[in-house]
Structure 1
Amino acid sequence: MSATTTNVKEAIINRRSIRKVKKNDNITKERLNEVLKTALHAPTSFNMQSGRVVVVMDDQHERFWDIVKETLRSRVPEESFAATVERLQGFRDGVGTILFFENQETIEQMQEKAPSYKEQFPYWSHQGSAML
């Protein structure tokens, strides 16, 4: 195995969910741009490239989590809201937030171009987003 394969294997085996993140000086805008440029090469069925990535950092990152908190205020029972705020603060304390979503217009265009595969494009889009 190559060093890269071993590192990926170790990363998969040793991965953990981290809900309280901290600012890390090693995560820079330049490093994120490098990673995102690489991610853009992730393959997709029919090369549809329906996945999208939005990165928010600095003040925009903090504002994003403030919006999430205020949105959840009306949806989470009052007795559970303090725990929700604590969890959200754990995310807000990070360097930035990366949001992944799928462009539905792209999927619909592909369905029109290749109608015999119409039912498969939403599934393929999810798979492409996972690789992204």
Structure 2
Amino acid sequence: MSNKTLDLLSKRRTQYALGKTLPIPTDAVEELIKAAIRHAPSSFNSQSSRAVILFGAESEKVWSLIEAELRKIVPEDAFAPTAAKMAGFAAGAGTVLFYEDQDTIRGLQEQFPLYADAFPGFANHSAGMAQLAVWTALAEEGIGASLQHYNPVADAALAEAFGVPSSWKLIAQMPFGSHAGEIGPKTFIEDDTRFITLGK
């Protein structure tokens, strides 16, 4: 089956081996990320997704701050694999910090009380779609990336370091850069385990 969207999605893969040489200028990468988030759907068109886009030394700072926080909770004699991961993420060209604006979510809860309990979940859906949109757009430009979740461990440190508004809640981190290694084949579980189709 030939489908352009599926072709794009198949390019989106987890790349841990990152380098600093991007195939397009950083200004273009910045605009790509902004456009992807701008076009990602959100419930009630809330547009609650936020992002901090970091390049170079600012991106490296993300991973040094996260590493410092992890050192407080991971035993030193078991820390070597974690340190290697942090170094790998820092080796990339940039990082996107994905946030959801809690003020926007609270506003929707007040405006639509019937759905109040559901809006945090809706925001997570929006966040996931924004992340996929960015990841797929980067992949189309030949930029490798992965999605990480070192929150809430370093939320406060990152917010302070980068001037993040207090209403923004950290959802995920996406280090990105040039492909510095091969990516293995993607495997899939059996369709019978995942899908039910009726009535065709």
Q: TM-score, normalised by structure 2?
A: 0.59
Tell me how far 1:28 sits from its aligned partner. 2.8
**1:28 and 2:38 are equivalent in the alignment:** no
Identify the residue that residue 38 of structure 1 maps to in structure 2. 35
Q: Is the 8 A contact 1:111 1:117 kept in 2?
A: yes
Q: 1:9 to 1:41 in 2, by over 3 A?
A: closer
Identify the residue that residue 63 of structure 1 maps to in structure 2. 61
Tell me how far 1:9 sits from its aligned partner. 4.4
CA deviation profile, 1:72-107 (whole Å, cap 9, x unmatched): 111111111121111110000000001111111111
**1:75 and 2:73 are equivalent in the alignment:** yes
Identify the residue that residue 7 of structure 1 maps to in structure 2. 7
Q: Distance in 2 between matches of 1:81 and 1:33?
A: 33
Name stretches of at least 5 consecutive residues in structure 2 with no aligned partner.
131-200
Identify which of 96, 115, 118 aligns with 1:117.
115
Tell me how far 1:6 sits from its aligned partner. 4.6
Q: Which amino acid aligns with 2:11?
A: A
Q: Distance in 1 between matches of 2:95 and 2:111?
A: 34
Tell me how far 1:33 sits from its aligned partner. 2.3
Name stretches of at least 5 consecutive residues in structure 1 with no aligned partner.
none
Count residues with an aligned counterpart. 128
Q: Is the 8 A contact 1:20 1:87 kept in 2?
A: no
- Whose strand fraction is larger, Structure 1's or Structure 2's? 2
Q: 1:93 to 1:27 in 2, by over 3 A?
A: farther
Q: Is the 8 A contact 2:60 2:90 kept in 1?
A: yes
Q: Distance in 2 between matches of 1:69 and 1:88?
A: 6
Identity across matched positions, percent = 35
